[in-house]
Structures are given as structure tokens and as C-alpha cells.
Amino acid sequence: MQRREFIGLLGGAVVWPGAARAQSKLPVIGILYNGSQQSAPSRIAALRQGLKEAGYIEGDNVAFEFRWSEGHEDRLPAMVADLIDRKVAVIYANSINAAQAAKAATGTIPIVFLSAGDPVEDGLVASFNRPGGNATGIRLFNADIVAKRLQLLHDLVPTASSVGFLVRPSNPTSSLQKKSVQAAAAVIGLRVLVLEANDEQGFDRAFATLAAQKVDALLVGTDSYFVTFREGLIRRAARDRLPALYDFSVFAASGGLISYGTNLDDANRLMGIYAGRILKGEKPSELPVMQPTKFELVINAGTAKTLG
């Protein structure tokens, strides 16, 4: 090998054995994400920010191992098994389904979860203040405030007499959300048409039903799957000129009319802080489940103008 070629290799692909060993010794956070990589950049950035606040920077003293379900929850158990084989130090689970898959697979690796439901009822923790076991995290209120979102949608479209409510039947909180919406609708005097969808074909059927029933507005339930496939939901609502209200601000930022719910990026930042505290030796069983109190109402002015 000529000297010039050898120098080129040093500048490109050579990794010295010592550096490789140092990299392999970093604690690894397994990212179990029930969604797509394309839907997650700000969430992961917020997670990194929380870790930084706790004293951890990716590549310096912590590493990530990503697993993306792309909305296919049946893949979660295999992905958890991969992370366990990788001997990750902490598992980050971004949904109830991901957290339950991780909890079912390991009772020793710490889990930091993001839950839109009740983590006690869902079997993730023993209590909010003393979780017990190997899991703790952030409990979002978005499934609980679905009735509030219905009221906001009624305020936004006061002439509406009927509202569609879209849920995914495989979501553990779907029953709770349906009961809350139906009870709130009875008080307001609205007719609610509950629609269920598990995939893109389900979205097509749901919107066809909304059109056939001449429904005046749409409320989209809380579900990480809907976040992943939000572009399709927003496109269909725009096509049908249907005012729609969502939970997270990412929907409004992507062209949805209005959103109301907890700040998802801030919740992921808090998850990063908890992951850092666990890496420093704290036990998840002793870290209380946090419940954010920061809510945000976001209206997409362009979409509002288009819909009149």
C-alpha cells in the first residue's frame, strides 16, 4: 500500500481498537418506538435534551439503539427481545403498547414510559408515588381530557349537530375515551358517531362514513398510531373540508386545524431526565410517575382560513 493511500484510510474508515472498546462500554438506551422515524425527530431531540440536563450526551457517555415499529404493534415483542439481547441499560417506551411489551419481556431492565392512559390500571406500575418494579415514566392526560377537546370543537364549530370520533380499537384507552366523549356529547346535545380504524384502509372507510352521514366535524382520539400516520388523516380532513381537532400540536404544525393537549416534546424531555437519573443509579421503583401540567392550544391559521 502506498503512503498516500494509507493516510486516506486513516482519514476515512479506520477505528482504533481502543476507541471501539470505549464506544462499546457506553451504557445504551434502547428506543422502543411505536411509530416511524419520520414522525419522531422533535421527540428524540427532546429526549436528548433531557439526557443532557441529566449529564448525558449521546456518543460521549451514552449510546442509543433504535427500534421502530412503523405502526405495527405486532413487531414490538421481537424488538424488545432484540434490545434485551443488546443488553441495554434502559428501555424508552413511547406508548402504552410499547411499555406493556417491554414490561412483559423483562422485570429487571429499567423502563421509562410515556402513557396516555392510567399506568396503574394498565399494569405498568403499582402506584403513581411508588411505582415498584422496573418501570416509571410520564402519564399524559390526553386520554382524560378528550371531553374537554369535544367542548373546544363545539366552541369552534357551534353550528355542528354531529361529530365523528375516531379511535383505534386496539388502543388500551379507546374504551375510556369513547365513554368520556359520549357522556360529554350528551351534556352538550351533540350526536357522536364513533368510528374505528386500525390502518390506512380503516381511515378510508371512516371518512367515507363521515361523508355519508353528513357529519359536521371530527374529533381524533389520542393514539401514537395516529401521530405516526397524521399526514393521511390531515389530508383526508382537508379533502372533505371537515373541521378536525387533534391532541398533540404536531398535528396543527402538519396542517391540522386545531390541537389541544399536553406538550409532547416537554414530556419526552422529562423522560430523558428520568433515564439519566436511572443511569446514575436511581431505581425506577422509587421515581414517581410524573404528570405534566403544561397544556397547549394550537390553531393552524392557514387551515382555519381555508375552511372559512
The per-residue pLDDT for range 240-283, each reduced to its tens digit, is 999 999 999 999 999 999 999 988 899 999 999 999 999 999 99
- Predicted confidence band at 14 (pLDDT cuts at 50, 70, 90)? very low
Q: Confirm if 10 and 45 have CB atoms less than 8 A apart.
A: no
Does the reported pTM lie above 0.75? yes
User: What is the arithmetic mean of pLDDT over 55-72?
Assistant: 95
CATH topology of domain 3-140+264-293: Rossmann fold (3.40.50)
DSSP secondary structure string for all residues of 162-192: EEEEEE-TTSTTHHHHHHHHHHHHHHHT-EE
- Predicted confidence band at 24 (pLDDT cuts at 50, 70, 90)? low
Shared fold status for 3-140+264-293 and 146-262+296-307: yes
**pLDDT for 16:** 39
d(CA 242, CA 260): 17
Taking only the tens place, the pLDDT of each residue in 87-101 is 999 999 999 899 999
Which cell is 238 given? 382537508
DSSP 286: G
DSSP secondary structure string for all residues of 87-105: T-SEEEE-SHHHHHHHHHH
**pLDDT for 25:** 86
Q: Confirm if 94 and 68 have CB atoms less than 8 A apart.
A: no
d(CA 279, CA 90): 8
Q: Which residues are bridge partners to 63 per DSSP?
A: 28
**pLDDT for 176:** 87
User: What is the arithmetic mean of pLDDT over 98-115?
Assistant: 96
Element housing 63 (H / E): strand 63-68
**pLDDT for 36:** 87
User: What is the arithmetic mean of pLDDT over 171-185?
Assistant: 90
d(CA 256, CA 251): 5
Tell me how crowded residue 271 is: count the other CB atoms within 10 A of its CB. 26
- In whole angstroms, what separates CA 89 from the centre of its chain? 21
Average predicted confidence (pLDDT) for the chain: 90
Q: Confirm if 13 and 233 have CB atoms less than 8 A apart.
A: no
Sequence-distant (≥ 6) Cβ neighbours of residue 11 within 8 angstroms = none
Distances (CA, A) of 84 to 81, 88, 107, 123, 145: 5, 6, 11, 20, 35
CA neighbor of 117 nearest in space, from 89, 90, 88, 146: 146
Taking only the tens place, the pLDDT of each residue in 199-227 is 889 999 999 999 999 999 999 999 888 98
**Domain boundaries of the chain, sorted by first residue:** 3-140+264-293, 146-262+296-307
pLDDT exceeds cutoff 90 at 83: yes
Second CATH level (architecture) for the domain 146-262+296-307 = 3-Layer(aba) Sandwich (3.40)
Taking only the tens place, the pLDDT of each residue in 157-167 is 999 999 999 99
Q: Confirm if 65 and 30 have CB atoms less than 8 A apart.
A: yes
